Amino acid sequence: MNTSQHPLLRTLGQPARVANVELFFDLVYVFAITQLSHYLLEHLSWPGVLQTATLWFAVWLGWQYTAWVTNWFNPEHLVIRTMLMVLMALALLVSAALPDAFGERGLLFACSFAAIQVGRTLFVLYSLGPGHALTPNFLRMLCWLLVSAALWIAGGVNEGSSRLVLWLLAVGCEYLSPMASFPVPGLGRSQTSDWTIDGGHLAERCQLFVIIALGESVLATGASFGHAAHPGLAVWIAFPVSFIGCVAMWWMYFDTSSGDAVHVIEHSDDPGRLGAYFHYVHVVLIAGVIVCAVADDLVVAHPLEPVKAGYAAVVAAGPLVYLLANAWLSRVVHGRFPWPHALGMGALLALWPLLPRLNLLTAGALTTAVMVLVTMWVAYHRRQDAAATRRSDS
């Protein structure tokens, strides 16, 4: 499929680099991640977890679909740059509405988000015109996004459990439709083999978002420490415990599977499908980072407080989800599920019921220890394998 002749598209065959305007666009998601972590911290219950997850999936959808568009389209072009600025303003409204999305600002959240998804797709279709090879894919996408937009807005009009159910249906619509290749009666379905993407650009965009999410964990640790008027010994111990946990998450992600993803996507027979899997993995991985940020806030702010059931869920589930997502990423990139991650998840599951007998500092130290051990284990074997490869090549 030749997509290189359109003036708004990236030049085919040339590596796509992440543009400064894309980094600027991502700034609004720093705010969104902060809003989500604070929302979860204030709603540590199962309904609160489900609401936070629904909002996070929506935030990621808005970013993810835009990342795919800028993988195809040249963000340095004035027209595309203007589109990104408009989407950024709408995303700022979405982020501002997050704390009260299940309250009085539900309709603002829903309308702003629907405007991002539908508006961006209409813009792409108008820009491409009817004869371009990418047009049928975006036309099918528009049909599904119009259905989900109706669900988002209907949820914004309703309240309580009805809003949550409608928004969960909207999330499912937007996540499942790409998996099924956007089937539309009369229009057929898209083929992932036609999704000509740049693996390096896609992987780097996801990596930069992971940095944004990890930044929230660092901010949570620093802010909690800074708010302690007279930090005692427990707070001084909790500070490095939380920071080391954040470092372990960075090391685990950037030292293992993510670095190999560029090569794997670019050399895949179906890079579009692999790129889609890559994004699905990251919505779970970054959710783990957000939960870990909430846990860091709790550990540093209240290190000697007994672990309540909600606290135990956050302290254990954040690292557990993060390990699962990293293992899934390794499965996508390398074709195998790493057993150190499985052992780490087993250790966290074993610790979970024991945490309510401890204080937050001890609980945080134990889960951080699991993360550090898994990271060191994987990094050691990775370097051993690299050394063996060098010896065999020589």
Look at residue 14 and tell me whether its pLDDT is greater than 70. no
Q: Which of 262, 213, 211, 190 is nearest to 16 (CA)?
A: 262
Here the tokens at position 71 are 């993988």
**Which residues does 156 contact at the CB level (< 8 Å), separation at least 6?**
106, 107, 108, 109, 110, 111, 163
Structural domains present in the chain? 20-190 (no CATH), 199-389 (1.20.1410)
Average pLDDT over residues 14-20: 78
Between CA 245 and CA 228, with CA 38 as vertex, the angle to 5 degrees is 65
Q: Can you tell me the mean pLDDT for 146-154?
A: 98
Answer whether residue 238 shows pLDDT above 50. yes
Closest alpha carbon to 234 in 133, 165, 304: 304
Least confident of 219-223, 267-271, 282-286, 356-360: 267-271
Does the pLDDT of residue 276 top 80, yes or no?
A: no
pLDDT digits (tens, 9 = 90+) for 45-57: 999 999 999 999 9
Let me know: does 368 contact 246? Beta carbons within 8 Å. Answer: no
pTM: 0.91
| Identity at 32, one-letter amino acid code | A
